[in-house]
């Protein structure tokens, strides 16, 4: 999903700032991993940057495009990662101007995606109306 290139350094700074305000069990879990360069790079590239893209572009995309890009973003989140990323959707800090016109239903979909845990079944993509059994 290389549709939008937000400055990674600014995103890392926002994540680090959020790390300082996390509650205790989440702070320790995330801080330990955030110090590891491979985790940090993967987290920014696979989780945070696509989220920023969905927030910034999600307000102007049609439903089909938004749903398609959301379906392509196949990741799961640890609870601490959700705590770090949720403010990016909810209007805190770095992305306030981007979030300004994001439809509430799309923000809710993004927050629900952040709550998806390993082992959760991904919701089925919307399909055509079911066939009439009387046919």
What tens digit of pLDDT does each residue of 17-41 get?
A: 888 888 888 999 999 999 999 999 9
Q: How confident is residue 129, by pLDDT bands cut at 50, 70 and 90? A: very low
The residue-averaged pLDDT of 34-55 equals 90
The residue-averaged pLDDT of 116-120 equals 61
Using a pLDDT cut of 70, give the percent of the chain over it. 73
Where along the chain do its domains lie?
8-114
CA distance 30 to 15: 10
Q: Which long-range contacts (CB under 8 A, 24 or more apart) does 96-105 make?
A: 98/52, 98/55, 98/56, 99/55, 101/59, 102/55, 102/58, 102/59, 103/58, 103/59
State yes or no: pLDDT of 116 exceeds 50: yes
State yes or no: pLDDT of 135 exceeds 50: no
pLDDT value for 119: 54
Residue 48 CA: distances (Å) to CA of 21, 52, 53, 126:
18, 6, 9, 25
pLDDT value for 126: 41
CB within 8 A of 94, min separation 6: which ones?
10, 11, 14, 88
């Amino acid at each position: 999903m290389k549709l939008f290139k937000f400055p990674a350094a600014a995103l890392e700074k926002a994540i680090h700032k959020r790390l300082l305000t996390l509650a205790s069990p989440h702070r320790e879990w995330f801080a330990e991993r955030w110090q590891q360069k491979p985790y940090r790079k993967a987290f920014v590239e696979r989780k945070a940057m696509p989220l920023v893209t969905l927030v910034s572009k999600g307000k102007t995309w049609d439903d089909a495009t938004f749903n398609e890009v959301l379906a392509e973003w196949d990741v799961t989140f640890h609870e601490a990662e959700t705590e770090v990323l949720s403010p990016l959707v909810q209007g805190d800090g770095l992305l306030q101007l981007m979030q300004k016109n994001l439809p509430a239903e799309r923000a809710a979909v993004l927050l629900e995606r952040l709550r998806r845990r390993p082992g959760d079944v991904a919701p089925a993509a919307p399909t055509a109306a079911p066939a009439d059994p009387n046919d």
